[in-house]
Amino acid sequence: MKIGFCKLQFGLAKWEINYDLSITNYEKMSNIQPILDKVLDGERMTAEECTTLLESNDFVRIGLAADEIRMRKNPKDIVTYIIDRNINYTNVCNVVCTFCAFYRRQGKPDTYVHSIGEICKRIDETIALGGTGVLMQGGLHPDFNIEWYEDLLSTLHEKYPNFQLHCFSPPEIHNIHLISGLDYETIMQRLKDAGLNSMPGGGGEILDDEVRKRVSTKCTTQEWLDVMRATHKVGLRSTGTMMFGIGDKIEHRVRHLQRIRDVQDETGGFTAFIPWTFQRENTALGRKITEEPTGIDYLKMLSVSRLFLDNIQHIQSSWLTQGLRLGQTALRFGADDMGSIMIEENVVSAAGANTHANEKELRYQIREASFKPQQRDILFNYVDREDIQKVDKSDSMKLKELSVAFAD
């Protein structure tokens, strides 16, 4: 049955969309409007309503509402990004995660631990490109106690006092706890004193042990959440993450969002939330996953995250895993941040994500989505560089190698 024009009036603009739908689908989709109206009126969504949205096929209507909320929570004309570098200081790991193609068992010939000199070389390259910090994570090395991490941080902080160290993850902190016997809060305070500025949300995957016990042994849901509470308690900020498509269902994703929101209610320590889809190539789990999340699944998850996480300021588009074009589209589905230009990344690229971007290209994608690109640091403070206009006006980007033949 043809349903004519569906007119949606949100605060900033009126959207007119043609739907060609059956009665059944129309009725199923129309029941989400009271939920969207409730959120747009400033009320908090329930877990049951979150489930209803994720079960709905009306990702456009959900996206429009998320875009409106994003505009209210953040500057309407600005999308931020960061110049930093992912440094994986070691690939030695003492646990097996079936979704990971990066880790290596201790003693294998292709294991490594970066020296301080190698890490400093990469930081120097990052600074030369206008970078403000480093995201540094590694495997769960069985021999690294807290002193190893303190020495690493203090050495880097002394050499680069104004360079932000956004490092480690809850599984790494839990690993330090198992080796040292220290509680999470003591560990985080000592790392902060050594120079740690903030912590990424790595290892979150799906915060539900029904899923986690099938794919990972590195830490439980409760342990991940408790590390984040301890991180926030000592005055450090962190990001929250979600990797879905690892055999999880909608109810698991809703529980994940609920747990993130609950911790944020307690601590206020999350700066941003970043959902992305599992990259399955070269992984043991990838051989078992028969249905991957689609681009629509990603946009819907991102939009629902924006609507449900009313206490988190920023939602980040994961262009690295979704590709630049879908990452750009996400800027109209609730995201206000484009993340990093990713000078270096090894973990998800090992699992098949091979998207790359430089600063010029990322700024171009942001402008073409009708926003002003703005560099930021890890804590979302704006970074203004005198040479930024040269980046936008430099020579056109190189074309990627063509894989088709030209016709004569």
Rounded Cα gap, residues 217 and 220, in angstroms? 8
Of 314, 173, 304, 311, the residue nearest 244 (C-alpha)? 304
User: What count of other Cβ atoms lies within 10 Å of the Cβ of residue 106?
Assistant: 13
**Terminus-to-terminus CA distance in the chain, angstroms?**
47
pTM over 0.85: no
pLDDT (tens digit per residue) in 290-315? 678 889 999 999 999 999 999 999 99
Every domain of the chain and the residues it spans: 2-73, 78-393
Question: Checking phi first, is residue 87 left (phi over 0); if not, alpha (psi -120 to 50) or beta?
Answer: beta
Dihedral (CA of 289, 291, 293, 295) sign: positive
- Judge contact between 187 and 176, C-beta under 8 A: yes
- The pLDDT tens digits for 256-288 are 999 999 999 999 999 999 999 876 554 545 455
Is 60 exceeded by the pLDDT of residue 83?
Answer: yes
| pLDDT beyond 80 at 75 | yes
Is domain 78-393 classified as CATH 3.30.200.20?
A: no
For the stretch 24-33, pLDDT in tens is 555 555 689 9
What whole-number distance in Å separates Cα of residue 190 and Cα of residue 196? Answer: 9
DSSP state of 19: E
Residue 62 has pLDDT above 60, yes or no: yes
Residue with tokens 């990713």: 342
**CA triplet 308, 306, 82: central angle to 5 degrees?**
140
* pLDDT more than 90, % of the chain: 62
Q: How confident is the model at residue 349 (pLDDT cuts 50, 70, 90)?
A: very low
| Phi, psi values for residue 241, rounded to 5° | -135, 165
> Of residues 356 and 148, which shows the higher confidence score?
148
Of 31, 11, 34, 7, the C-alpha closest to 19 is 7
For residue 121, what are its two tokens? 């070389």
Amino acid at 73: K
Find where tokens 């999350």 sit. 270
* Whole-number average pLDDT of the chain: 84
